[in-house]
Structure 1
């Protein structure tokens, strides 16, 4: 039995090394380290604020730097004790995807998803209000957009606003929410901040690893 277990561990390790070798040094596939993490990568599909598949996303693969992945692994372990888990909306983001966002933001006539994602914000103000930028921490490989799910039902917890909703209701400090919504946001914030991440004040779902290894480096390899 012990011999069989050792062989299995060797095979798992070999598979992890082989799959991660497709990436630049220092980056890994998150599911190799957190197999039970839930993925719903919004930029691989059309369910996002632009309403179309985003450049650079060639597969629904979650990629991060190794340190960010190990920190997220700790978060998942803590959450499991509360019968909760992580769902990832976005992780590493190629610079070409950010460029896609920038082109879209400058095309003021394209407001296909305005009512769903930015009903109270003028599209011309998205840069000024820092909802869209020319560079993104995501492209440095240690930033992740997530929410929480119930492990029994696999349903997302109610956070008071949807992912990528541009407006004050998405701000971390926003308080005009139900007790349940405030509680759920607190659970998410505490789990992330206590395990090595810092938040972005305007987006309850957005977290960056403290001491990220590739700060101010913006990668452009595709997600595949």
Structure 2
């Protein structure tokens, strides 16, 4: 791992680290290759930007929950093998009820390369500091559906407002959103725009 990487909690100590691919609570249904520890790693510029986000939302009594950060390239390959296994549909109802597996690639929900592997992309949500409950964003993380699109009007006005609160804090800190996932953001001017790292998370 390049020395420019560090753990997000080093600068954001109250962030909740809940890397979904380090366990079985994800669309693959098992721990994903390369996730050997529940560590939220990002490049230092990205972590510094996340710290600004944390300071922003703290004013509203909120903290950050990190769902995915740096993702080894071998994890992306694991997603590809999972998508090619037509017999494994155990998580279809929970994560991709409206699609067949090949469509997830065709529609862009899963890609052969991920910006996460460059170290400056993260998936996250907001949590109430008072009781630890997630803000209601209208869909769970990694639901492959138009309902998860940040601009969707198929979710309630309150849920749309929660998405806008997250996006506003992220964009103010220098992140670009992804139009298909309310939880996904990439740092503008990321330090490794053409590199896809494959060091396991340990």
| TM-score in terms of structure 1 length | 0.89
CA distance in structure 2 between the aligned counterparts of 1:32 and 1:160, rounded to whole angstroms? 30
Partner of 1:158: 136
1:189 counterpart = 2:189: no
- Note the residue ranges of structure 2 that are not aligned, 5 or more in a row: none
Alignment length (residue pairs): 202
Q: How does 1:1-224 map to 2 (within 5 A)?
A: 23-224=1-202
Greater than 2 Å deviation, 4+ residue runs: none
Give CA deviations for 1:63-106 in whole Å, capped at 9, x if unaligned.
00000000000000010011011100000000000000011111
Q: CA deviation at 1:177?
A: 1.6
Shift in Å, 1:24: 2.0
Unaligned runs of 5+ in 1: 1-22
User: Quick one: distance in 2 between partners of 1:77 and 1:202?
Assistant: 26
TM norm structure 2 = 0.98
The whole-number CA distance in structure 1 between the counterparts of 2:169 and 2:67 is: 17
Secondary structure of the residue that 1:59 maps to in structure 2? Answer: coil
Q: Distance in 2 between matches of 1:177 and 1:106?
A: 31
SS of equivalent to 2:186 = strand
Tell which deviates more after alignment, 25-34 or 159-168: 25-34
